Copies of this chain bind each other. A is one copy, B any other.
Amino acid sequence: MTDRPRPKQTNISACSIAATLEAVGDRWTLLILRDLFRGVRRFEALNRDLGIARNLLTDRLNRLVELGIVQRLPYQERPVRCEYRLTAKGTDLSPSLVALMRWGDRWYAASGPPIVLVHDACETPLEQAVTCPSCQENIRPHQIGSRPGPGHKIEEVLT
């Protein structure tokens, strides 16, 4: 504690967007995850598909494994060769990648979406929405409010 007033500031570590970006907020990492969702799972295939330098790919994959987002599984015995699979934590990033893809579709795909996500059972194009379970309405961005949740920490504010 000092006498000098400190500016009011948000505790970034208490923000879940910052926590997510700390883990996967890197362009290569998100592109690797996209490939894993698409079934590109082997080092050589990822290297070829992304055109990423091998040391960067190794680095990003190791970090994803450390964070429990991806697991390394052998697909061949002699010599041992591994592939990378999304864990439950990794698979749970699906809504984030869907949202990022749809924004690109709306703002950068002049001739329409390059890829359409569909329900595998009926091939209908999918939708993604933020909804209010009480009003059963789709919610637009300006209708979103926020309040402190159980993990909110009262921040030290001296003004």
Count of interface residues, chain A, beta-carbon cutoff 8 Å: 88
Would you give 23 A-B contacts (Cβ < 8 Å), ordered by A? Answer: A15-B104, A16-B100, A16-B103, A17-B100, A18-B104, A19-B108, A25-B30, A37-B141, A95-B103, A96-B96, A99-B100, A114-B148, A115-B152, A116-B148, A117-B144, A119-B143, A123-B145, A123-B147, A124-B132, A126-B139, A128-B130, A128-B131, A129-B131
CB of A16 within 8 A of CB of B101, answer yes
Chain A residues with a Cβ under 8 A of chain B: 7-10, 12, 14-23, 25-27, 30-31, 34, 37-38, 48-51, 89, 91-135, 137, 139, 141-153
Interface of A, secondary structure class, is mixed
